[in-house]
Structure 1
Amino acid sequence: MELTVLFVSFIVFLLLGTSVAAAMIMSAVLSLFVGGMPMTIMAERVLSGINSYTLLAVPFFIFAAVIMNRGGLTDRLLGVSRCFVGHFRGGTAQVDILASIFFAGMSGSATADAASQGRILIPHMRKEGYDAGFAAGVNSASATIGAIIPPSIAMVIYGSVTNISVGALFLAGVIPGLITGLGMMVVVSFLAGRRGYPRAPKMTWRECVGPVLDALPALLAPVIILGGIFTGVTTPTEAGVIACVYGLFLGFVVYRELTLKDILPILAETVEATAVPVFIIAAGSIFGFALTTSGFGFMVQDVLQEITTSPIALLMIVVTIFMVVGLFVEGTAAMLIFVPIFMPLVQLYEINDIQFAMIVIITIMIGTITPPVGLQLFIAADIAKISVFKVDIWPFVVIMLVVVLVLVFVPEMATFLPAALM
């Protein structure tokens, strides 16, 4: 009875236009009320879901991303990217992808990446003759690299839910993230050649010296942030604090693009951006508790064990489930709902925890760029002033799916660096 109330009310609330997080909370409250649970336990579950030292890294990395956007770091990363790939086919689109790789090593936020670079590069691509759908597609797809290459807010949340080392997850994301970026660049080159998109003249080494030296302090940010984590000197949360301090130093002292007047707007933007994932985490905590008390997890586990005893087949089923759920549910919410359900099966089938984590995170990122609810897709489409259904996103979705499938069959792509360095 409780399970029926939970899912029926959840679907009804979604159909009424309620946000996913609010629908999770209200449906969970109804389900637990029908089951006779005291209201106090609901408040306790919400608070326990967000009362985590590891999760403190989330607002710090978001704060760092906002500082870097406003402090001039993003512009300088774009300048360096133009030096290296601006002369390739589809040069400005290639710049978007390479800059996302650089930016990923500092912020860990796909949303911040899509918004900051999209405001600059999408209008620029439109002026150069790129289709609006293609410009938005490149921007939204490349932004997902921010959640794959460390540091990654998605990995911090995943680690807090599963108690897996966030440092190990960070290392695991390096190779898949770089391969994803390279695959996207190949797609851009192919499509740009067929569609006649322009490329910039190749810059000489002498012309590149200025932009590279100017961006060098920004390029050192990933080294400082990740170096502390991988050497064990800092925790991910402490690394988030260092990212904020270093970003403020660059913005105020090195690049001098920040003033004291910028602090309050930066803090306000950070609070607003942090509220969304924290609210979803709190909602996911109580919704997950309702699923547990209703026995849904055991039901799913029993069904999957009856369907297959193959680890590969189980991973393919998990990918399919997250792909379908990602079409309708925000990625963080999907992670909080389903990962705790699948983790016992991961142990039972002797699947590597790190491999499974990377498969889930990248598949969830695919959901952020597919209609109808992909967040990065909405951001890019809004900047390009087109419908999300007109964004040319599917070639990039295919690339990300290929990376996921390689991870399914070649776990070493995710496990090699953690095993070698930790």
Structure 2
Amino acid sequence: MIVAIIVLLFAMLLLGVPIYISLILSTFLSLIFFTDIDSMVAVQRIFGGIDKFVLMALPFFILAANAMDVGGLSRRILNFARALVGHLYGGMAMATQTAAMFFGALSGSSPATVIAIGRIMYPELLKQGYPKKFASGLIIQSGAVSLVIPPSITIILYASATNTSVSSLFLGGLGAGVFFGTFLLLYIYLYSRFKKFPRGERSSSREIYKAIKEASWSLAVPLIIIGGISFGIFTPTEAAGVSAIYAIFVGMFVYKEITWKKLFQLSLDSAKTSAQVMILVAAASALGWVLTIGQAPHMLAGFVAETFTSPWAFLIFLNLSLLLIGMFVDSTIALIVIAPLILSSATTLGIDPIHLGIVMVVNLAIGTFTPPFGLNIFVANSITRLKMIEMLPGLMQFFWITFVALLIITFIPIITMLLPTIVYGS
């Protein structure tokens, strides 16, 4: 049954059937041909997959991300990043990565980060003499950190699928995300220095002060989200609502770039994006339930018990598997289907669910820009106008350096677990 479901799913995907329809059809056909369960139960499971309080945060964070982009918050974040690091070797490239980290902490969306940062910075990178392959690879991978740094939509989905604390996962993602981004910044600096990429002019104290002042309203968003959750002021779902209202208020009344017409349009766009995410979550949850009743978790647990006696060996296997899956499957689907299946096996080996979740999220973050089907590649195509073969050298350059960062996060759990331990105890 399990093999038939997987073959059926991939066959439909290869035929170009929309992802959510492939998931739903696989669920219904599996129940009809391999079980005695009434197929209408699948409808209940589809709705049950999104009937979770934690998922209420998703539409709010998506609305907040769109409001930040339309309201000019992302542009001021870029100016702030350029003022900080623009004078260093590869300063424009470092500013791009720095801005992606900050914007990731605002939006929680990888494609949104690529669009918001890329359409401003890619022309600037080319203007300053950066090679197209390096500039395109930098822009495409820049969104990956958004999946790790809270408020990450992917982390919320993992929490929903595994009933793990969103607050603890956010703190774990903060530590891992800052390390991930800083590791890339170090690489960009060293590589730029070796290649003698251009340095920008050092910003004056007045320019730095102006950039900080203009970006202060934008930089307050992650402080509100992480601080509010950590100190128990509000839940992650309430934090999402607060961040959306705050972003709209700043865009309309402080920066005055959001008109009522733009507010209506960004609300409509947010509703469409939320619907796309929710239908994927619902369909993937139903398929995950079918795999569960097909004894997939027990089969996987048996395989793990027979094959792996060390948590490190299991994590290596998990990393390689997820990197491969991430090349072909959307991270949302992979996370919702796979996370519940491997959770019990991982905890049996002594792997903390928080650490497991962040390792999975980092894997799937890398998958967003890994050829041939990484989502960010297609999102960035409207910016770079380059063919896959032209982008491939730059993409693989950043793939290998992020893979090293993944291994460090995997095998040094304190990077992930330090903040949750400090705030919530062991």
Asked if Structure 1 and Structure 2 have the same fold, meaning a TM-score greater than 0.5 normalized by the shorter chain, the answer is yes
Aligned length, in residue pairs: 421
Partner residue in 1 for 2:399: 397
Whole-angstrom distance in 2 between the partners of 1:50 and 1:285: 8
CA contact (8 A) 2:300 2:345 kept: no
Partner residue in 1 for 2:113: 113
Partner residue in 2 for 1:319: 319
Partner residue in 2 for 1:200: 200
Report the alpha carbon displacement of residue 38 of structure 1 after superposing the two structures with TM.
1.1
Whole-angstrom distance in 1 between the partners of 2:210 and 2:310: 55
Matches within 5 A, 1:406-417: 406-417=408-419
Deviations 1:223-242 (A, max 9, x none): 11221111111111100110
Within the alignment, does 1:279 sit opposite 2:279 as a pair? yes
State the AA in 2 paired with 1:105: A
Deviations 1:243-297 (A, max 9, x none): 0111111111111111111112101211222222212111111111121122222
Deviations 1:1-55 (A, max 9, x none): x334312211210120123332221112111111232121010000000111100
Q: Secondary structure of 2:107's match?
A: coil
Report the alpha carbon displacement of residue 394 of structure 1 after superposing the two structures with TM.
2.1
Within the alignment, does 1:363 sit opposite 2:366 as a pair? no
Whole-angstrom distance in 2 between the partners of 1:203 and 1:347: 50
TM-score (norm 1): 0.96
Whole-angstrom distance in 2 between the partners of 1:188 and 1:365: 19
Report the alpha carbon displacement of residue 167 of structure 1 after superposing the two structures with TM.
0.5
Within the alignment, does 1:6 sit opposite 2:5 as a pair? yes
Report the alpha carbon displacement of residue 160 of structure 1 after superposing the two structures with TM.
0.8
Partner residue in 2 for 1:149: 149
Deviates most, 383-392 or 284-293: 383-392
Within the alignment, does 1:20 sit opposite 2:38 as a pair? no
Whole-angstrom distance in 2 between the partners of 1:334 and 1:327: 11
CA contact (8 A) 1:62 1:270 kept: yes
Residues 1:90 and 1:321: Cα distance change in structure 2 (over 3 Å): same
- Equivalent pairs: percent with the same residue? 32
Whole-angstrom distance in 2 between the partners of 1:236 and 1:85: 32
Whole-angstrom distance in 2 between the partners of 1:144 and 1:312: 24
CA contact (8 A) 2:118 2:139 kept: yes
Partner residue in 1 for 2:256: 256
Report the alpha carbon displacement of residue 192 of structure 1 after superposing the two structures with TM.
2.4
Whole-angstrom distance in 1 between the partners of 2:408 and 2:192: 26
Whole-angstrom distance in 2 between the partners of 1:100 and 1:298: 40
Deviates most, 60-69 or 196-205: 196-205
CA contact (8 A) 2:147 2:153 kept: yes
Matches within 5 A, 1:63-212: 63-212=63-212
Report the alpha carbon displacement of residue 195 of structure 1 after superposing the two structures with TM.
3.7
Residues 1:389 and 1:58: Cα distance change in structure 2 (over 3 Å): farther
Whole-angstrom distance in 2 between the partners of 1:38 and 1:397: 45
Whole-angstrom distance in 1 between the partners of 2:345 and 2:106: 34
Deviates most, 353-362 or 134-143: 134-143
CA contact (8 A) 1:122 1:383 kept: yes
Report the alpha carbon displacement of residue 175 of structure 1 after superposing the two structures with TM.
1.9
Whole-angstrom distance in 2 between the partners of 1:155 and 1:374: 18
Whole-angstrom distance in 1 between the partners of 2:117 and 2:23: 32
Matches within 5 A, 1:282-293: 282-293=282-293
CA contact (8 A) 1:136 1:377 kept: no
CA-atom RMSD, angstroms? 1.4
State the AA in 2 paired with 1:406: I
Whole-angstrom distance in 1 between the partners of 2:346 and 2:178: 26
State the AA in 1 paired with 2:193: G
CA contact (8 A) 1:225 1:240 kept: yes
Q: Secondary structure of 2:106's match?
A: coil
CA contact (8 A) 1:322 1:363 kept: yes
Report the alpha carbon displacement of residue 346 of structure 1 after superposing the two structures with TM.
1.6
Deviations 1:71-96 (A, max 9, x none): 01011111111111111222221111
Deviates most, 22-31 or 79-88: 22-31
CA contact (8 A) 2:155 2:361 kept: yes
Deviates most, 38-47 or 17-26: 17-26
